[in-house]
Amino acid sequence: MMKTEIINYAGMKESMGAVFSVTYGKDRVIMDFGSAFDPEKSGYVKKDDNWIIDKLDLGLLPGIEGLYPAEYLKGYKLRSYQDCDYNSAVFVSHLHLDHMSNIGAIDRNVRVYMSDNARKLEYALEEMKRGVDTIGREYSTFRNMEYVTVGRIKVLPIMNSPYSYNMYGFLIETPDMKIGYTADLSLCYECPEMVHREMEIFRDAHLDVLYCDNCNFDDESLQRFFGSADVDSIIGSSQIPEGMVSFRQHYEYIETLFRGNKGLVVFNHYEREMMDVEKYYQWAEKENREVVFEPEAAWLVYRFFNRKVNVYLNGYENNDQWFRELLENAVIVTREDIIREPGRYYLHNSYGNIDELFRLKTPDAVYVHAEGNPFNSRDRDVMKRKVREAGFRFETYDTDNYYQHGYPNMVKYFVETIAPKTVIGYHGRYPERITAANVRTLVPDYYKKYYLKNGKLTEAVEE
Ligand SMILES: [Zn+2]
């Protein structure tokens, strides 16, 4: 008899990365397709036609059969898309690299689904050769609350943030199993109402398995939230832990960094975060300022919002199509413009151009580190030092009272409300720490097959 099989490839016992597959016969869906990213290590650089094999060997790409193009796997031990007869599709929850960095390696015949907003940004990045490493393939889109059918498997995308590239969770239904996948989960993030709705959909579906983000269950975070690292004493509740704040409260704090300044405000954001960009425009309008971006960030803003942008060229030049189109749709703001009236601008500055600050010395200048590069601690120290040497006041989004992923008591409340038969802690180093009454906690091994046996998700024994 045919049975649904689940296999895990990334996101288990690690705080980043997410990949698992659900297979029924030859039909297969793969949920997210990123790899763990360590900010303290430098990344892999794509070199030649063997890059897919190189990444497989380095463990950066999961060794999944029937997924990668034959022309890239010549002589390699893994069977290619062309060598198998799987009917596969891949679903991307949101445009963070740990969820989608490897989608460009998938054979062109396999559909890769994401939201329309995410696709818009990925294409805009690829137009500048700043997207994921890719064989040069295209992507498909899904819509909120509309099933995508992959043979006998149905996937329901459930939006839980309408901003920027959007965030999604998924309900996966096969003939014998119902699986919920939260992707990144927080009940007090950008749009809590939508996450509550997702919770109700999962509850009403009577899930066999819930894959649940438990990123913040490490000792340090627990200590911070509850004053104790004792996981067993966590009580499920929908309340934000004392002393912590919600995303909305955190954003009120961020607004104070930008607003009410007399001088120039320089910011360094993660360039695909379009909600931040939307806010900069709103605040700038209230303060009668202009938002100005470096060319590559400006291209994303122009493509995403389809609006004219202010660009700070600072000698930037190239002959690419995107850059020419940008110049046709941009107003150029120069260093002289800024020095003349520094209080009229929010100016984007990426870390690679940080020395420009020394040429923008003006009174009362502020630098806001808005979660952009650098991500590693050594470069961050350099950044802070240079900002201060250039005479800017250093401010940052980072605070001790806000965490982006779910607070553990709220995650527990989420699991208790849904009451799946089995919960799999996902996207965190301690999956065994996610527990709820009458819910089985399972920590699966990588590359092993699991299926339902008497209603219990069980490791399949190879005959
Ligand atoms: Zn994530």
Domain holding 277: CATH number?
3.40.50.10710
Helix axis angle, 408-418 relative to 192-205, nearest 10°?
40
Same domain membership, residue 303 and residue 159? no
Which secondary-structure segment (H or E) carries 157?
strand 153-161
Tokens 């030049």 label which residue?
317
| Cα 177 to ligand 1 centre (Å) | 24
> Given pLDDT bands bounded at 50, 70 and 90, which one contains residue 44?
confident
In angstroms, the CA 25 to CA 346 distance is 55
Domain of 102, CATH number, reads 3.60.15.10
pLDDT score, position 48: 81
| Cα 15 to ligand 1 centre (Å) | 8
What's the average model confidence in pLDDT over 63-71? 97
| Cα 285 to ligand 1 centre (Å) | 32
Same domain membership, residue 261 and residue 159? no
Number of domains in the chain: 2
Taking alpha carbons only, the member of 66, 56, 39 closest to residue 133 is 56
Residue 117 domain boundaries: 4-221+404-459
| Cα 17 to ligand 1 centre (Å) | 7
366 within a domain of the structure (yes/no): yes
- The pTM assigned to this predicted structure is 0.96
Are the beta carbons of 368 and 392 closer than 8 angstroms? no
Taking alpha carbons only, the member of 253, 299, 291 closest to residue 272 is 299
In angstroms, the CA 136 to CA 14 distance is 30
> How high does pLDDT run on average in the chain?
95
Same domain membership, residue 150 and residue 21? yes
Report the SS3 class of residue 379. Answer: helix
pLDDT digits (tens, 9 = 90+) for 324-358: 999 999 999 999 999 999 999 999 999 999 999 99
Same domain membership, residue 210 and residue 275? no
In angstroms, the CA 190 to CA 251 distance is 10
Same domain membership, residue 327 and residue 386? yes
82 within a domain of the structure (yes/no): yes
pLDDT score of 462 more than 70:
no
Taking alpha carbons only, the member of 85, 128, 82 closest to residue 108 is 82
409 within a domain of the structure (yes/no): yes
| Cα 18 to ligand 1 centre (Å) | 7
Same domain membership, residue 420 and residue 273? no
Question: Would you state the structure tokens that stand for residue 228, as one six-digit string?
Answer: 């104790």
Taking alpha carbons only, the member of 409, 407, 334, 398 closest to residue 371 is 398
| Cα 454 to ligand 1 centre (Å) | 32
Same domain membership, residue 129 and residue 215? yes
Same domain membership, residue 408 and residue 392? no
**N residues, the chain:** 463
> Given pLDDT bands bounded at 50, 70 and 90, which one contains residue 42?
low
In angstroms, the CA 355 to CA 397 distance is 21
In angstroms, the CA 327 to CA 271 distance is 19
Are the beta carbons of 264 and 366 closer than 8 angstroms? yes
227 within a domain of the structure (yes/no): no
- Select from 346, 380, 396 the last residue of a domain: 396
Same domain membership, residue 434 and residue 340? no
| Cα 89 to ligand 1 centre (Å) | 20
Same domain membership, residue 388 and residue 302? yes
| Cα 249 to ligand 1 centre (Å) | 21
Report the SS3 class of residue 459. Answer: strand
In angstroms, the CA 315 to CA 146 distance is 47
CA atoms within 13 A on the CB side of 297: 26
Same domain membership, residue 68 and residue 185? yes
Question: Would you state the structure tokens that stand for residue 375, as one six-digit string?
Answer: 């991500």
Report the SS3 class of residue 298. Answer: helix
* Antiparallel, parallel or unpaired: β 209-213 and 422-426: parallel
241 within a domain of the structure (yes/no): no
pLDDT digits (tens, 9 = 90+) for 241-263: 999 999 999 999 999 999 999 99
In angstroms, the CA 287 to CA 438 distance is 54
- Select from 396, 418, 449 the last residue of a domain: 396
| Cα 222 to ligand 1 centre (Å) | 19
- Select from 351, 367, 396 the last residue of a domain: 396
DSSP percent split of the chain into helix, strand, coil, nearest 5: 30, 25, 45
Same domain membership, residue 251 and residue 198? no
| Cα 107 to ligand 1 centre (Å) | 24
| Cα 189 to ligand 1 centre (Å) | 13
Q: Exposed, middle or buried, 329 (CB in 10 Å: 0-12/13-18/19+)?
A: middle
257 within a domain of the structure (yes/no): yes
| Cα 319 to ligand 1 centre (Å) | 35
pLDDT digits (tens, 9 = 90+) for 78-113: 999 999 999 999 999 999 999 999 999 999 999 999
In angstroms, the CA 128 to CA 332 distance is 19
* 69 upstream amide cis, omega within 30 of 0: no
